[in-house]
Structures are given as C-alpha cells and as structure tokens.
Amino acid sequence: MDKSFSDNAYSTKIPKIAPSLLSADFCCLKSEIKSIHDAGGDLLHLDIMDGHFVPNLTFGLPVIEAIAKVSQIPLDAHLMVMNPDLYIEPLAKIGIKYLSFHQEVVHHSHRMIQKIKDFGMKAGIALNPGTPISTILDLLMDVDFVLIMSVNPGFGGQKFIKTSIKKVQFLNNFRKENQLKYEIEIDGGINAETIKPLIPAGIDIVVAGSYVFQSDDYQKAIRRLKNV
C-alpha cells in the first residue's frame, strides 16, 4: 500500500473542469449553461438525486433533456439514486456522455458497467467518502472512470474531505502499475486551494460547483482551477 502512495506516481497534467449545475441559478439555466461553455468548461456535471439514496431531489428526465438540447459541452451525469439501472436507457437517449453510479447501491456492478457501455456512454463508478477503494478493485479493468466523492453526497457547498487525496493517489498508481486507462474524477469542496494536492496526485476531472457559480467571473474561476 505504501508503494501506491509514492511520489513516482505523481503527474502534472491539466485536469478537465466539470462545473456542477446543482450550484447554478435555476431561474436562468440556459444562460448559465452557455456561460460555462464560453468560460471554458470541459464537461457539465449533473447531480441526479432521488430523495432516497441522498436526502435531496434535483433533476428529472424532462429537465435533463432540456439541458442536453442547449449544452454545447458533454454532459457528465452522476446517479445518486437507489435504482440506477432505470436511468441508463433514458439518459443514453438524451445524449449523456459520462454516466456514474454508486458502488454502495448496486449488487451486480460488472453488469451495470457493461450495460452503460452498451448504450454508448462512458461508464463510471462512484464512491462515498467512507467507502474504501478495495470494494472496486475488481471493477477497475472495466470502468472508464472512477468518481471519488470528497464530501458526503446530497448537497453543494460542503467542506473538502482530505482523505480523498489518498484515494486519488492510489487509483493513479494502480492504473499505471496495471496499464489501465480509466480517468479519475473528484467531486466536492473543490476550490483554488483544495485542488492543489489533487493535481500531482493524478486527478483527471474536477467537479466544481459553488467555486465556479458563486464567482463573479466563471472563466477566471475555471482558469484558476486549471492553472494551479
């Protein structure tokens, strides 16, 4: 395990930035989505919640379909729901590019991953802060990306959980040692300070909600995250 956290695994690549629409002004979604495109966002992150896996409700399928029609950047959907299987085909038809589900609610993860891929989407598996990476080691050969939650899911604006950095380091080393190509994504409490250790740890995709949408200049906020 110590080897997995060695400095030799560190990288300095520029991550993709995926602003989370959960923090946007819901009264002006179309203009908010355009602003993220114009500001240089790489992906648009959608937190899909059912009020059961997490104590909150967000986007239903009609709203996601409307978002897809106006978004000029790929959509990254994070399923925080009890029955993710029910969402796969509808989201594929809408045009979602990245789709992640939680390890904590799926008993047959390999089957779920393959189904997502069969519908032409990138398949990701998400882990809560308290879920160890050991629970997904047998899935890393098959996934396109892993989503590390650096806050407990359900609400935006929470404080970054620092143990998430070690998870990113481990995943980065594991893919190098096993010649795998999955991407590593992180979501929760990201700002210009908390992103700093994540860059050398090997992060590929950074979800940022409040930091981008509560800033006065979306482009400047995204550039800060990319240039740390």
Give the catalytic positions in this structure: 47, 187
Which residues face 80 on adjacent strands? 49
Phi, psi of 113 (to 5 degrees): -60, -45
> Which residue do the tokens 């308290």 mark?
130
CA distance 55 to 31: 28
Find the DSSP H helices in 54-193.
61-70, 88-94, 109-118, 164-177
**DSSP H or E segment with residue 201:** helix 198-201
